[in-house]
Amino acid sequence: MRTPHRMDPDPHPRPHDHSEAPPDPYEELGALDDGPLDEFLGGTTEQWTEQQPEREPEWTPPVHRRGGRRRRRRFAGLPLAAKAVVSLVVLAAFVTLADRWALLYAEHKAADTLKDQLDLAAAPEVEIGGFPFLTQVADKRLDSVRVTVPDVSADRVSLAKVSATAHDIRLDADGLTSVRGAHVPRLDGDVLLSFADLNRELGASQVMFTGDGRDRVKARGILPVAGHDLRLRAEATIRRQGERGIGTQIGGIRLDIGDLATYRPGTRASDGLHLTPKASADVARETRKAKALLSVPAAVQRLGVPKAAVREALSDDGKLAELTGSPRFARQAQTLNLIDLALDNPEVLRGLGLDPDLLDALSQLTRPALADRLSLAFRLPEPKTGDMRLQYVRVEKEGIRVRLTGSGLALGSS
């Protein structure tokens, strides 16, 4: 690299010409024919330009599709539309939440009101239908209200469940918190009298009730009488009684004293206390029991045995076996009403293996008394306003179901 020439001071300086422009340092720098920049680049600027020609941009086909800008504008507006949709969804969620909260409040309030007005042990379940709820309140009209009341006391039994749905209810209200009453033009529902409740309340867990067709109920179990557990059998026919109640006709009542005798309450010839076929055969076979029976004149008279034959039988065991061994004697022994014999001859019954105290208790256990203990009847309370009646009664697997209807009912001050 050559060292630039150093400028020596002019020995004959000239006076300063103020009209001449001062030198441009950039022009002086450009006037240098050689310098470090040229050497660094390896040549002059022209040479570098010749060695590295400028590249032209690659050719791309023009876009001729229509609506390109329009499509870009549409996608550009998507975030705003999404925000609007999200806002609407959030607003709808809040409105729905407020409506559901108001609905729950109204259902809770109605349940407490019904509990107080109907004097129930627990608040019923209230379900208000229709959506939205707040618009119905504003219109003072509800599409439907379903009320379910468990364990309603009805005479001697409890109704397992009373469910009713009111339709087109008109409200007497000034708002959600100021409902004074309601008018129910139409109501329908059903009542369930469960067999489980009947078993607990009527049978004291010893008598079981089961369905036997569409209108019949069977009762089977144990009935304690005078210290003895007697097997109970009975049938009840279920019928509607009037417009607000159901009644039961109890029939086929039978109490078995083991394999010894059967008691049927009533006044017919087949009613009363009678020996079973097995017990009759035992009497005919056992000498002691046969003589105890033939020693009672009333029994001999009802057996239709001649007095002379009875005297021979009581004095001769062979004649006794001949008399009691006939099939006719066993059949006749079954027709004897032992309760009638017990009144005057209690010792005879002891000879047959029967407890006189039990027979005395059975004589007081009349048909009406037993029927009352097994009665499944109940009656719905009469409403203060409007009309409520039973439509039909049906026996189902789980219990007795009664369909009910109502009209013109009013709650509260309406």
Tell me what percent of the chain is helix, strand and coil, each rounded to the nearest 5.
Answer: 40, 30, 30
Q: The tokens of 358 are what?
A: 């039990």
Give the pLDDT score at 177: 66
Other C-beta atoms closer than 10 Å to the C-beta of 364 total 9
**pTM score:** 0.63
Other C-beta atoms closer than 10 Å to the C-beta of 342 total 22
CB within 8 Å of 281: residues ≥ 6 apart: 330
Per-residue pLDDT of the chain (414 residues; tens, 9 = 90+): 444 444 444 454 554 444 454 444 444 434 444 444 444 444 444 444 445 555 656 666 555 555 545 555 544 555 777 767 777 777 777 778 888 888 888 888 888 877 877 777 778 898 988 888 888 888 888 899 999 988 777 666 777 788 989 999 898 877 666 777 788 899 999 988 888 888 877 755 588 899 998 999 999 999 888 888 999 999 999 988 888 888 888 889 999 998 889 999 988 888 888 999 888 888 888 888 888 888 888 888 888 888 888 888 888 888 888 888 888 888 888 888 888 777 777 777 777 788 888 888 888 888 888 888 888 887 777 777 888 888 889 999 999 998 989 998 887 654
Q: For residue 126, list its beta bridge partners.
A: 147
Q: For residue 251, list its beta bridge partners.
A: 235
- What letter represents residue 260's amino acid? L
Average pLDDT, the chain: 77
Give the pLDDT score at 30: 45
Q: Give the three-state DSSP class for 153.
A: strand
